[in-house]
Amino acid sequence: MITRRSMLLSTVALSAAAVLPTAVLAQGRAIAGIVFQQDQYMKTVQMGMAAAAKESGVELLDANSDNKLEKETQLIDTYIARGVQAIALTPLSADGSIPAIQKAVDAGIVVICWGSTINSDLASANITSSNLDLGHNTGKEAHAFIEKTFPGKKVKIATVAF
């Protein structure tokens, strides 16, 4: 079954591969992946990026900004110093992430934003999804499941957020 998560992971990995020259990939150069939380979703994203990097023959340097803009900036600075060819991240701030991303782009690094974007055209690719569509489709599937599983009965529904 293709899930939103697997599609996102595949898209991030393929976008990174598409914007990097083939010679860079063949040389086994490094790319960076930055997540911002330590929840199950972000851990799955890291696993997906690691698998895609391995499959592409690219070293993945991954880290977690712990939802702190200063740490995101430090990580980007570290990856600039390490000479990575690309950075894939979910920017923490549409405006606050721009200076660090600008430094990366100025250093010749390809930046891919996924999950959220910045108020700039610095990123080589922006990968997002529609939360409205996701919610609508989830509701339709939940409705079908409830109707099939509990026909004619009242059910209680709760939503959980993190």
The pLDDT tens digits of the residues spanning 38-66 come to 888 899 999 999 999 999 899 999 999 99
Among 12-21, 33-42, 97-106, the minimum mean pLDDT is found in 12-21
151 belongs to a structural domain: no
pLDDT tens-digit map of 149-162: 999 999 998 887 75
161 belongs to a structural domain: no
157 belongs to a structural domain: no
Percent of the chain with pLDDT over 90: 67
**pLDDT surpasses 60 at 73:** yes
Average pLDDT, rounded, for the chain: 86
How many domains would you assign to the chain? Answer: 1
48 belongs to a structural domain: yes
140 belongs to a structural domain: no
Predicted confidence band of residue 24 (pLDDT cuts 50, 70, 90): very low
12 belongs to a structural domain: yes
**CATH number for the domain harbouring residue 21:** 3.40.50.2300
* Mean pLDDT for the stretch of residues 18-33: 62
Range of the domain at 47: 4-130
Predicted confidence band of residue 77 (pLDDT cuts 50, 70, 90): very high
* 3-state helix/strand/coil string of the chain: CCCHHHHHHHHHHHHHHHHCCHHHHHCCCEEEEEECCCCHHHHHHHHHHHHHHHHHCCEEEEEECCCCHHHHHHHHHHHHHHCCCEEEECCCCCCCCHHHHHHHHHCCCEEEEECCCCCCCCCCEEECCCHHHHHHHHHHHHHHHHHHHCCCCCCCCCCCCC
**pLDDT surpasses 70 at 15:** no
Residue 27: the pLDDT is 57
Predicted confidence band of residue 130 (pLDDT cuts 50, 70, 90): confident
107 belongs to a structural domain: yes
| Spatial CA neighbour of 126 closest among 79, 84, 103, 94 | 94
Cβ-Cβ contacts under 8 Å for 128 (sequence gap 6 or more): 114, 115, 116, 117
For 3, list phi and psi in degrees, rounded to 5: -110, 165
**pLDDT surpasses 80 at 2:** no
pLDDT tens-digit map of 94-124: 999 999 999 999 999 999 999 999 999 999 9
Percent of the chain with pLDDT over 70: 82
138 belongs to a structural domain: no
